[in-house]
Structure 1
Amino acid sequence: MGRKTEQTFRVIHRYLGFFLAGIMIVYAISGIVLTFRNTDYLKKEIHYEKNLEPYLSAEDLGSALGMGRFRVDKEQDDLLYFQGGTYNTKTGVADYTVKKLPLLLDNMNKIHKMHSGHPLFWLGIFFGVSLLFFAVSAFWMFRPTTSIFRKGLYFTAGGIILTLILLFV
């Protein structure tokens, strides 16, 4: 591995890092926020009252409200009770409350949890490949005979051990 290779990897690593700094900040912040997704941390309650078609089934009601994993908890008279609200089957009025993150954090989380059906999924793939490049290119930035490279291998071993602990605990 020559000096030219090291320089090339350093330059690509540097400018790709600068280019992706914004999205890395988004992923870092949303990753922290997603850690608390099972709590109400930073969420605010928003009340909705929607007029829907009467006599919707539970499945159709969940779709009409845009709620994933929708479940009716109980039925009583003309009311269907679900988490956070009710639906009157006769009138079609759904009265419910949802807890949402502020718009900016919610959009960050949507980017973080992007899937192949999203129109910009290829950006997520590009970002993943770029992060993989960052991890691998670090090994070509220093000559294997230098002390900084050897120290880097110790940190790499520590990171791999920590990752294995996280995966299997």
Structure 2
Amino acid sequence: MKFKSSDLRKWSRIIHRDLSFFFSGMVLIYAISGIVMNHRDTINPNFSIERKTYKIAETLPGKSEMTKEKVLALLAPFGEEEHYTKHYFPQTDVMKVFLKGGSNLVVDVRTGDAVYESLTRRPLIGAMTRLHYNPGQWWTYFADIFAVGLIIITVSGIVMLKGKKGLIGRGGVELVAGIVIPLIFLFFF
């Protein structure tokens, strides 16, 4: 039996289609989380951070008189009393209170100025970006299979079309452009 180029294109379409459907979820996960990770300086992919500034009207005790009970009273308006872990004074008049989950409260005990910073996990985007950091050995295997699948999808896509739209025509120009542009950024930026 003789193998024809039309057979190669036929099998390329089948492989390309099936692997594309199989890996489409991963492509979307990596694309969306990749966009978020590219903008980490403006978007925290793991946490949503909300800052509230306010003024404490009452007179606050200094470092030596500040007790855990007094700190818990400061946390009451935020409902964070049960999340208290510890407090300390990084400066003479500034107290920092650490809370479970990463939230915190910073209070200038002299002026009463306070900043409450609330951290909440981003459930979907945080989980998606976690995959970029390789969360475990099991993921390494799947990520390697995904990478091989992308190579197969790419090669099957390259040989699938013939003529002016294929590798010899427009497809070849697009292939070269898709290689040259990342190389320009790699070497010149």
Query: Which structure has the greater CA radius of gyration?
Result: 2
Residue 137 in structure 1 maps to residue 156 in structure 2: yes
Partner in structure 2 of residue 61 of structure 1? none
TM-align CA RMSD: 3.2
CA contact (8 A) 2:48 2:121 kept: yes
Partner in structure 2 of residue 2 of structure 1? 5
Letter in 2 for 1:119: W
Using the alignment, how far apart are the partners of 2:127 and 2:17 within structure 1? 28
Partner in structure 2 of residue 58 of structure 1? none
The TM-score normalised by the length of structure 1 is: 0.64
Using the alignment, how far apart are the partners of 2:35 and 2:143 within structure 1? 18
Residue 27 in structure 1 maps to residue 30 in structure 2: yes
Unaligned runs of 5+ in 2: 51-77, 105-116
Partner in structure 2 of residue 103 of structure 1? 123
Number of residue pairs matched? 135
1:37 is paired with a residue whose SS is coil
Residue 45 in structure 1 maps to residue 49 in structure 2: yes
Unaligned runs of 5+ in 1: 53-73, 88-93
Stretches (4+) displaced over 6 A: none
Using the alignment, how far apart are the partners of 2:37 and 2:120 within structure 1? 12
The TM-score normalised by the length of structure 2 is: 0.58
2:49 is paired with a residue whose SS is strand
Q: Which range moved further: 41-50 or 122-131?
A: 41-50
Aligned match for 2:172, one of 133, 143, 153: 153
Partner in structure 2 of residue 66 of structure 1? none
Using the alignment, how far apart are the partners of 1:100 and 1:136 within structure 2? 43
Q: Does the C-alpha gap of structure 1 residues 153 and 101 become closer, same or farther in structure 2, counting only changes over 3 Å? A: farther
Instruction: Tell me how far 1:163 sits from its aligned partner.
Output: 1.1
Instruction: Tell me how far 1:119 sits from its aligned partner.
Output: 2.9
Q: Does the C-alpha gap of structure 1 residues 28 and 152 become closer, same or farther in structure 2, counting only changes over 3 Å? A: same
Q: Cα deviation per residue 1:84-127 (whole Å; 9 max; x = unaligned)?
A: x667xxxxxx9745745511100000112216x44322111111
Instruction: Tell me how far 1:129 sits from its aligned partner.
Output: 1.0
